[in-house]
Amino acid sequence: MNSSFCIAVHALVYLNHMQKVLSSEELAQNVCTNPVLIRKVMSRLKKAGIVDTKGGNNGGYIFTADAETLTLERIAEAIDMQFVGSPWRSGDIDKECLISSGMGEIMQNICAQLDEHCRKSLRGITVADIDRKILKHEKEPKIDEKA
């Protein structure tokens, strides 16, 4: 997993909490990264209709979603996040041996299943959950085990 998902969730929690327009510069300061990375992630969230932009002076990003129903799954989908997967592939598809030629796909399918599992689990956490947890020191937003 790369930083995009962390950046997206962090920025959205912050944007939602502040309830005002924030520039990529201001967001970058809070998330502790650079403005370009913020803009790359936010442009995807904009396309997904989760935030909107305001141009000109004092412009930036504004939270337009409903924090209570905005799940981490939807955020992951918006930025096309892959949680588990291996670019490396074992075996050789052209070998006669069924194991050598077949294990690559088997492992890929297992990764895909795990990835889907993660996505489903994230349906149980909303931006509002995190906001509450972080400000009222509630107990950890727990993933629904049956998701």
**Contact residues for 138 (Cβ-Cβ < 8 A; gap 6+):** 132
Q: Which amino acid is at 29?
A: Q
Residues that bind its own copies (CB under 8 A): 1-3, 5-7, 9-10, 13-14, 17, 30-33, 72, 83-86, 88-92, 95, 97-100, 102-103, 106-107, 109-111, 113-114, 117-118, 121-122, 125, 130, 133-135, 140-143, 146
* CA–CA dist 123, 143 (Å, integer): 8
The CA–CA distances, whole Å, from 72 to 22, 84, 99 equal 21, 16, 37
Smaller CB separation from its own copies, 48 or 107 = 107
Minimum separation from the CB atom of position 64 to DNA (A):
13
Q: Are 64 and 50 in contact, with CB atoms under 8 Å apart?
A: yes
Smaller CB separation from DNA, 56 or 98 = 56
How many Cα atoms are found within 13 Å in the side-chain-facing hemisphere of 29? 5
Smaller CB separation from its own copies, 69 or 109 = 109
Instruction: Select the binding partner of residue 20 from DNA, its own copies, none (C-beta < 5 to 8 A, by kind).
Output: none
Report, in this order, helix, strand and coil percent for the chain, each rounded to 5.
55, 5, 40
Minimum separation from the CB atom of position 80 to its own copies (A):
16
Residues that bind DNA (CB under 7 A): 2-4, 23-25, 32-37, 39-40, 42-43, 46, 53-61, 86-88
Smaller CB separation from DNA, 55 or 137 = 55
